[in-house]
Amino acid sequence: MTVLASVDAALDAPLEHWILEQVRAGTSPEAVLRPLIEQGWAEQAAIDAVEAAMRRFVEQREREDGLPPSSRVPAPLGLNDASILHALDRDVRVVAQLRHPRVIAFSNVLSDEECDALVEMSRARLSRSATVNMETGGDEVHVGRTSQGTCHARGGNALLRRIESRLAALLDWPLEKGEGMQVLRYGVGAEYKPHHDYFDPSQPGASVLLARGGQRVASMVMYLNTPERGGATTFPEAGFEVAAVKGNAVFFSYDRPHPMTLSLHGGAPVLAGEKWVATKWLREHVHA
Ligand code: PD2
Ligand code: ZN
């Protein structure tokens, strides 16, 4: 009997059809694999072939449902994984995680001195924050975003380079696939109403934005101070919020530009004091 050990081994159409029928009927994985193994497939090759068939089936259904294709996203760790991640020059702590939406809260991402330095280099450059106009791909002032902000070019100084390199190590995502760092200040009453960070591909302005590095696939919001009250980052569809604490950060990813990711999030109003954050958006490709 010939043993097909290659992971490239392909299923013929009737066998693929049979496998998908079995999977849909809830047949156990062992029972689905058995006929392949009886035909002489090596076990791992059979597992790979069945998984590939299921992936093709899911992708076809998603296309039929009009969903945009999914992308690879930064995945720094799994659930119930390490509690501390050594990120280049710093031990970052994992505080909490959510599977869907995919959210990770970290502490000890930035030192107090780094937070203060980011605030000081941004203070004089602040202007009323804009949002992306998806009709044109340009920026515009929006009532839902009442913060002030500024954007620092990637690698613009030694501090930015150090933090960007640390984030690249922490998130296992090349720093070239990141946008420049945005720093925001919220005064009392200022907020960022719930929104998605990805670009809506159906909007006319999307092509301009996507041409430069592809989709956004994840966001890292780092807290540069601790507001007296308010200013949490909220995920309203998950009923979840991350408190703004100096040096901590919230990471969230979205594997396709679609609300099904539940990545809708906002910056709740600051109730007392002020709030400073630095946001790093991660792209599919190199962002030049
Ligand atoms: O400041 C925040 O908590 C926040 C909330 C939602 C920041 C952003 N989005 C962002 O920068 O995209
Ligand atoms: Zn956002």
Q: What is the per-residue pLDDT across 85-106, written as a single tens digit (0 to 9) for each?
A: 999 999 999 999 999 999 999 9
Distance CA 185, CA 164 (A): 20
Is residue 277 in contact with ligand 1, taking CB distance under 6 Å?
A: yes
Residue pLDDT, tens place only, 72-81 = 999 999 999 9
> What kind of fold does domain 84-283 have according to CATH?
Jelly Rolls (2.60.120)
Which residue's CA is minimally distant from atom 10 of ligand 1?
A: 279
Average pLDDT value for the chain: 92
Which residue's CA is minimally distant from atom 2 of ligand 1?
A: 267
Among 230, 156, 146, which Cα is nearest to 184's? 146
From the alpha carbon of 268, which atom of ligand 1 is closest? 3
From the alpha carbon of 197, which atom of ligand 1 is closest? 12
DSSP string, 22-35: HHHTT--HHHHHHH
Which residue's CA is minimally distant from atom 11 of ligand 1?
A: 279
Is residue 225 in contact with ligand 1, taking CB distance under 6 Å?
A: no
Which residue's CA is minimally distant from atom 9 of ligand 1?
A: 266
Distances 209 to 74, 134, 216, 278 between C-alpha atoms, Å: 20, 9, 10, 21
Residue pLDDT, tens place only, 194-227 = 999 999 999 988 999 999 999 999 999 999 999 9
> Which of 277, 281, 283 to probe ligand 1 with, by most ligand atoms within 8 A of CB?
277
DSSP state of 45: H
Distance from residue 46's CA to the centre of ligand 2 (Å): 42
Q: Contact at 8 Å (CB) between 286 and 176?
A: yes
> Which of 197, 216, 279, 280 to probe ligand 1 with, by most ligand atoms within 8 A of CB?
279
Torsion angle, CA of 199/200/205/209, rounded to 10 degrees?
A: 20
**Residue type for 126, please?**
L
pTM to 2 decimal places: 0.87
Q: What are the beta bridge partners of residue 181?
A: 152
Q: Contact at 8 Å (CB) between 186 and 223?
A: no
pLDDT value of residue 73: 98
Which residue's CA is minimally distant from atom 6 of ligand 1?
A: 266
Question: What residues does each domain of the chain span?
Answer: 13-64, 84-283
Give the pLDDT band of residue 8 (cuts 50, 70, 90). Answer: very low
DSSP string, 222-249: EESS--SEE--EEETTTTEEE---TT-E
Distance from residue 64's CA to the centre of ligand 2 (Å): 29
Give the pLDDT band of residue 9 (cuts 50, 70, 90). Answer: low
Distance CA 17, CA 13 (A): 6
Taking the CA of 281 as reference, the closest ligand is: 1
